[in-house]
Amino acid sequence: MADPIDLDHVTSLEREAQSRYAHRALVCSSTACLSAGAAGVRAALESDLEASDRSSDVQVVASGCPGLCSRGPLVRVETRGLEPTLYEHVDDEAASTIAQQHLIEGRERAEVSSIEPSLPFYAKQVKVVLRNAGLIDPDRLEDYVAAGGYRALSNALRTMTPEQVIDEVDASGLRGRGGAGYPTARKWRLLHDAVAAPDQPKYVIANGDEGDPGAYMDRTIMDSDPHLVLEGLSLAAYATGASKGYLYVRAEYPLAIERLERAIRSAKRAKLLGRSVLGSDFAFDVEVRVGAGAFVCGEETALMASIEGRRGLPELRPPYPTERGLWNQPTMINNVETLANIPAIVGDGAAAFAAIGTPESRGTKVFALAGSLENTGLIEVPMGISLREIVFDMGGGIPDGRTFKAAQTGGPSGGCIPEQFLDSPVDYEHLQQLGSMMGSGGLVVMDDSVSMPEVARFYMEFCRDESCGKCAPCRVGTVKMFDFLDRICRGDGRPRDLWHLESLCKTVRATSLCGLGQSAPNPVFSTLDHFRDEYLALLREESLAAPAPAGVVDADSLPTWGDDA
């Protein structure tokens, strides 16, 4: 059998190979840029270079996501001795210009619009999780290794006991990035201390079932830097004594699935996974499991049911998965972003990580900026930054002459934060106080054209459709709450509907089995707290014949399906 990978050797080979090129052109090949035509851009670059005699001077790389999706396709050109240039809105024609002027003629910069590094969108970021995103080829293990990858795992296996790894994570103050913010080390300790049945493994699972609409942090981490997730999961397994891992990914993310599977194959070949990881006693095997479109599967007990090939129905906790999880064995589930923080913590030490952020919420958080903003895309910011900085500095404010109305965080489990709270710091506690939550990191900005009761109805429709149906409060409650909201939005609501809605929200929150139902009323609560006037405006006048507000389609006005007309 081949020897395990020699990280230093691979790094020096890779650096040497890269140094032979005068330019390295990184074409973003993440989902958003691909749909904006990045594949054609890469082909144009390559064919233009092919036609010249300079193709051996330029390394064209299909890279991960540099973040500013609204200006894609993005092409980053690194030229020896120069600051890198990030070209924006690159179409086939611009690609030819870049190839001709920058790569072939060797000008400092081609006559194509580019993004300055001083743009607040980039300048205010602190990159831990996304440190490689957009800078390496996600499909090449060597690229990840040359960027310092797998050093943390290799060092941990050689010089640290599992307990020491957990202590390091503990000292970093890392909390779960899936939304609730449970201290990661505490979870790890529970699995570490748990004992599996004889001849049965303990399990670790990376939760990549990113179901919140408007959130795509985990997808980008997985499709831009799949080895980072694998390394984090391997470290989690080593620290907790697990020998089998699963990466549970939404089926809606085919690119992430493909790249993770390729990463697993190359890691196995390099002995970074398998019976003896890097020649040590540590054995670890990983498999990708694909969801099939069920929001509830982000809940950990439902997720495990889905991995077992069953319907994704949540179970009552306790027992917690660390006591009885996958196939009744001790199991730990961490969010993808949580795991992506681990290599930095174990590799660079807890102190460097803990120096970022606030005392209660340490480190960074990745947000997916979307909605009514000039700049949308993926950002990684230190915890404690204000929402105002994110929305107005990094996001560039509201386009089309509109004004800011609310920032929605936490998806269907979160809430809407109005203008007057924009200066509060972004961390777990503050967002909760505002009636929202950190959530997984979706941040959708809404302008003054958006009706808040309609937003509440949108999320309730989502929860109604996604309720698994196991417990009555959620199954029935989400339908009834939606009906009330729908009636109010259509202008048919009566004051007592609002009263019923609020009382039902409280019941559903208090009595639902799992997080889906418990948090389903959150968007209603938060919009009622901050935008009650809008609800009242829809109720007032009691008018039966009031026209529906703009954007609402009256069910009666739709054509009758299948009607032969």
Partner 1 sequence: MPTADTETKGPGATSDHPSGDDRFELLDKAMRRGRYGQDQLIEVLHVAQEVFGYLSEDLLLYVARALRLPPSRVYGVATFYHLFTFDPPGDHSATVCTGTACFVKGANDVVDALAREHRVAPGSTTEDGRFTLKTARCLGSCGMAPVVVVDGEVRGHLHADAAIDEVAARLATTDDRDSEEAV
Amino acid identity of residue 564, one-letter, is D
| 210 forms part of the interface with partner 1 (CB under 8 A) | yes
Task: Compute the least distance from the CB of residue 117 to partner 1, in Å.
Answer: 20
Stretch that binds partner 1, among 158-166, 186-194, 307-315, 526-534 (CB under 8 A): 307-315
Q: Which of 9, 15, 275, 310 binds partner 1 (CB under 8 A)?
A: 310
- Cα torsion angle, 146, 147, 150, 155, sign: positive
Q: List the beta bridge partners of residue 86.
A: 76, 115
Q: How far is the CB of 79 from partner 1 (least distance, A)?
A: 27
Least Cβ distance, residue 427 to partner 1 (angstroms): 22
Q: Report residue 39 as tokens.
A: 């594949």
Q: Which stretch binds partner 1 (CB under 8 A): 93-101, 194-202, 270-278, 308-316?
A: 308-316
Integer Cα distance of 526 and 459 in angstroms:
12
Establish if 463 lies at the interface with partner 1 (CB under 8 A).
no
Which residue blocks in 213-253 are alpha helix, DSSP H?
217-224, 226-240
The nearest distance, CB 167 to partner 1, in angstroms, is 35
> Are 378 and 220 within 8 A, CB to CB?
yes
Cβ–Cβ under 8 Å, residues 145 and 11? yes
Q: Pick the closer one to partner 1 by CB: 150 or 462.
A: 462
Closest CA to 225 of 77, 86, 339: 339
Cα(129)–Cα(135) distance, rounded to whole angstroms? Answer: 13
Helices (DSSP H) in 275-397: which residue ranges?
300-307, 336-348, 350-354, 387-388
Extended strands (E) in 264-400:
285-290, 331-335, 364-371, 377-382
Contact with partner 1 (CB under 8 A) among 51, 82, 197, 292:
292
**What is the smallest separation between the CB atom of 330 and partner 1, expressed in angstroms?**
18
From residue 215 to residue 234, the character string flagging contacts with partner 1 as x (rule: CB under 8 A) and all else as - is xx--xx--------------
Which listed range, 212-220, 225-233, 269-277, 332-340, lies at the site for partner 1 (CB under 8 A)? 212-220
Rule CB under 8 A: is residue 349 a binding residue for partner 1? no
- With binding defined as CB under 8 A, does residue 293 bind partner 1? yes
Whether 485 and 502 have beta carbons less than 8 Å apart is answered as: no
Residue selected from 283, 290, 476, 548 as contacting partner 1 according to rule CB under 8 A: 290
CA quadruple 302, 443, 113, 115: dihedral sign: negative
Q: Does 554 bind partner 1 (CB under 8 A)?
A: no
Return the closest-CA partner of residue 151 out of 228, 223, 205, 206. Answer: 228
Instruction: Please select the residue that binds partner 1; options are 7, 36, 237, 239, rule is CB under 8 A.
Output: 36
Window 145-174: residues binding partner 1 (CB under 8 A): none
Q: CA-to-CA distance for 13 and 145, rounded, in angstroms?
A: 11
Name every residue whose Cβ is closer than 8 Å to that of residue 428 and which is 6 or more positions away in sequence: 175, 181, 360, 361, 437, 438
Give CA torsion, residues 219, 220, 226, 228, to 10 deg.
-110
Site string for partner 1, 381-420 (x = CB under 8 A): ---------------------------x--x---------
If the CB atoms of residues 39 and 354 are measured against partner 1, the closer one turns out to be: 39
Q: Does 558 bind partner 1 (CB under 8 A)?
A: yes
> Is position 86 an interface residue for partner 1 (rule: CB under 8 A)?
no
Pairing between strand 75-79 and 58-63?
Answer: unpaired
Q: Does 312 bind partner 1 (CB under 8 A)?
A: yes
Minimum Å gap between C-beta 293 and partner 1 is 4
Is residue 43 a contact residue for partner 1 (CB under 8 A)?
A: no
Among 361, 372, 478, 512, binds partner 1 (CB under 8 A): 372
Which among 32-40, 44-52, 181-189, 396-404 is the span making contact with partner 1, rule CB under 8 A?
A: 32-40
Q: Is the dihedral of CA 289, 293, 298, 301 positive or negative?
A: negative
Check whether the bond before 73 is cis (ω within 30° of 0).
yes
Identify which of residues 184 and 376 has a Cβ nearer to partner 1 in the complex: 376
Using CB under 8 A as the binding criterion, the count of chain residues that bind partner 1 stands at 57
Residues within the interface to partner 1 (CB under 8 A): 31-32, 34-36, 69-70, 72, 210-216, 219-220, 251-253, 289-295, 306-312, 368, 370-372, 376-377, 408, 411, 442, 444, 446, 450, 458, 462, 466, 468, 551, 553, 558-559, 561-563
